[in-house]
Amino acid sequence: MILGVSGSPRRAATEYVLQWALGRLEEVGYQTRYWTVAGKDVKHCIHCDRCLDGSGCIHSDGLTTLYPLLEEAQAYVVATPVYNGTLSSQLKAVLDRCRALLAKEPRVFQGKPFACIAVGGDRCGGQEAAIQAIHAFAVMNGGIPVAGGPFGANLGATFWSRDSLEGVKADEEGFKSLSKTLKQLVFYLGRGRP
């Protein structure tokens, strides 16, 4: 199963492109699941270290539904809107809170590919910095960053929404970068190219 994780608190542009990506992956035979921060209470990590004793996270909130999906997934497509030049604070909280999952199972992300999507209101508004933050999380935890390659998808899929759903739907370059990134993800997982 490939897990799509949306770091957007709104159900708009980021959700749209992530759902589009999951649809393409289903077309080539993958089972997918979708999880979003939208509508969920996601508390920030307070670095209390409670999770280190095996007790799990001190917080009981919207992430309780995510942890088992993260364990089950064989790959991830992580999408974020760009907030102040990087990933959303909601997605950052999700990544930070994975500390509790890693304390329980340190190899949960080992060898699993991470493909990324970043949606910004400007063409060059921080999409690559947002993707780099997600890739850094993957690398630190044994995951494999997957990018679409040179000429338009160097780190992953980047979209220019012009701050609207209509803008993201019209971004042909964004969809090219996403298609290239998905091709690399599918190739990495061993099913050829979609």
**CA gap 118, 86 in Å, rounded:** 9
Query: For 143, which DSSP code?
Result: -
Residue 39 structure tokens: 């509508």
> How sure is the predictor about 192, in pLDDT bands with cuts at 50, 70 and 90?
low
- Identify residue 156 by its one-letter amino acid code: G
Q: Of 167, 150, 75, 71, nearest to 116 (Cα)?
A: 75
Residue 76 structure tokens: 């991830």
pTM over 0.85: yes
The per-residue pLDDT for 152 is 83
Q: What is the mean pLDDT of the chain?
A: 94
Residue listed under structure tokens 């790959």: 75
3-class state of residue 163 by DSSP: coil
The per-residue pLDDT for 191 is 65
Ordered alpha helix ranges (H), the chain: 13-27, 66-72, 89-104, 127-140, 165-169, 172-189
Q: Of 71, 86, 84, 87, nearest to 35 (Cα)?
A: 71
Q: Judge whether residue 111 has pLDDT over 60.
A: yes
Beta bridge pairs of residue 83: 86
Residue 169 structure tokens: 């739907």
Q: Judge whether residue 153 has pLDDT over 60.
A: yes
Residue listed under structure tokens 């160097």: 154
Residue listed under structure tokens 């990324």: 116
The whole-number average pLDDT for the span 121-149 is: 95
Half-sphere exposure of 141 (CA within 13 A, CB side): 23
Residues in the chain: 194
Residue listed under structure tokens 């999906």: 69
2-40+66-95+107-189, which class in CATH? alpha beta
The answer to whether the CB of 157 falls within 8 A of the CB of 171 is no
